[in-house]
Amino acid sequence: MQEKEELYWYWLCNLSGIGNKRIKRLLDVFKSPKAVFYAAPEALHGCTGLTQPNIETIMKNRNMEKVYKSFTQLQHKGISFIYKEGKQYPKNLLQLYDMPYGLYSKGQPLRADEPAVAMVGARGCSGYGRSVAYSFAKAFAQLGITVVSGMASGIDTAAHEGCIAGGGRTVAVLGNGVDICYPRENIRLYMQIQEKGTILSEYPPGTVPAAGRFPVRNRIISGISDAVIVVEARKRSGSLITADAALEQNRDVYVVPGNIGQPLSEGCNELIKQGAIVITKPEDIFQTKALKDKIFMNKTVRKGEEKEKIQKKFLATPKDMVYSCFDLYPKSLDELLAETGLEIADLNQMILEMQLEGLITEISKNCYVRNDLEI
């Protein structure tokens, strides 16, 4: 049996009663999981923050054959283990003071270098909120932006479904093991996400849902994203925890404004008062420079299973013709229909894509101008 670094990380992250804080202390002292595995008892006793039961747990579980067997069983279930120093570990999470040292994924490999937007909101959302989340996520997917959420009922579900409908990749960060579908009624979505994206969790497989685990996982939802959008949220909402985590991580927070006096709008409107960015159309997301750079500055964008390079002002042939009709002076939709001879549905789709790519701007209802971008 070949001993690999990932096996030691897997061992350390699965020691009962030893969470993130104690793992950090161990690594501060011993520098690597392998060194912890072989540390002398007296050295462990000298590690601040470890209790006698913690030390006994470490000593009793030093069986690499059992670790290897458990790790192999994990792989047979289609579950991947991602550790802090591994290639798949999201670089954005390294910025977190309470980063997870190990992650579990199911489905497609995690692509941590792609542009990503988190979408969160109320479980008991309104029809309006569900529609906004679905349509925004679908538009993001069509541009190659990964949509991240928590697979909860309501806004989370709508965001995942919209992204899948747009042919995009979506990531669901769970507050339980990746082998457990919660809520149970989302079993169809759970299976779809594995086909089109990734199920992700810091909790080992078999970990059941518990109220305290969901707020903790929110830091990962915001952490692997370039920006966070709150669609609907009550005054005291888990979505606000995600927004707070995003602000601590120096991520932009966007808010869909709601009606004054409506309970589902109270949290959103409060965030706006605190300086969150108002978002009323998908292309507003490009106020986030990190996201815009990933898309326009030769970053790899995946659509389905293919890759393509998108540069500033690069357009496919059909859109090239449409783009040539725009000017620095306003042009109406009717004028564009007459000039292009396209069906309105096809033209609207191309207009939306060009807005999301930052090539044109809608200055008034159905009236557009070309952005004067440098090539």
DSSP string, 223-284: HTSSEEEE----SS-HHHHHHHHHHHTT-EEEE----TT-HHHHHHHHHHHTTPEE-SSGGG
> pLDDT of 204-250, one tens digit each?
999 999 988 998 999 999 999 999 999 988 877 677 888 888 878 88
Average pLDDT over residues 327-352: 85
Question: Can you read off the two tokens belonging to residue 373?
Answer: 């971008």
Rounded-to-integer distance, Cα 323 and Cα 354, Å: 8
Q: Does 342 score more than 90 pLDDT? A: no
Q: What percent of the chain has pLDDT over 70?
A: 91
How does strand 116-120 pair with strand 102-107? unpaired
**What average pLDDT does the segment 298-313 reach?**
41
Mean pLDDT of the chain: 87
What pLDDT band is residue 296 in, cutting at 50, 70 and 90? low
- How far is CA 284 from each of CA 74, 254, 264, 304, rounded to the nearest angstrom? 41, 9, 22, 24
Residue 304 pLDDT > 50, yes or no?
no
CB 114 within 8 A of CB 225: no
In the chain, where does DSSP find H-type helix?
5-13, 20-30, 33-37, 41-45, 52-60, 64-76, 127-142, 155-165, 187-196, 213-223, 238-248, 263-273, 289-296, 317-323, 333-340, 344-356
pLDDT grade for 299, boundaries at 50, 70 and 90: very low
Tell me which residue of 202, 263, 273, 244 sits closest to 118, measured CA to CA: 244
Topology, domain 116-289: Rossmann fold (3.40.50)
pLDDT at 1: 45
Strands 367-370, 331-332: pairing is antiparallel
167 has pLDDT over 60 = yes
The CATH number of the domain covering residues in 5-76: 1.10.150
Do the two domains 116-289 and 312-370 of this chain adopt the same fold? no
Rounded distance, CA 307 to CA 310, Å?
Answer: 10
| Separation of alpha carbons 81 and 204, rounded Å | 9
How does residue 175 score in pLDDT terms, banded at 50, 70 and 90? very high
Say yes or no to pLDDT of 189 above 50: yes
What is the mean pLDDT of the segment spanning 304-311?
42
More confident residue, 241 or 295: 241
- Could you give the C-alpha distances from 330 to 199, 223, 333, in angstroms and in order? 45, 40, 10
Q: What is the DSSP letter of 294?
A: H
Q: What is the DSSP letter of 176?
A: S
Say whether pLDDT at 62 is over 90: yes
Fold classified for 312-370: Arc Repressor Mutant, subunit A (1.10.10)
Q: Where are the domains of the chain?
A: 5-76, 116-289, 312-370
- What integer pLDDT is reported at residue 235 of this predicted model? 76
> Coil, strand or helix: which one is 118?
strand
| Cβ atoms of residues 289 and 283 within 8 Å | no
**Planar angle of CA 190, 193, 197, nearest 5 degrees:** 150
As a whole number of angstroms, the distance between CA 297 and CA 311 comes to 6
d(Cα 127, Cα 50) in Å, to the nearest integer? 50
More confident residue, 269 or 77: 77
Query: Is 188 within 8 Å of 157 (Cβ atoms)?
Result: no
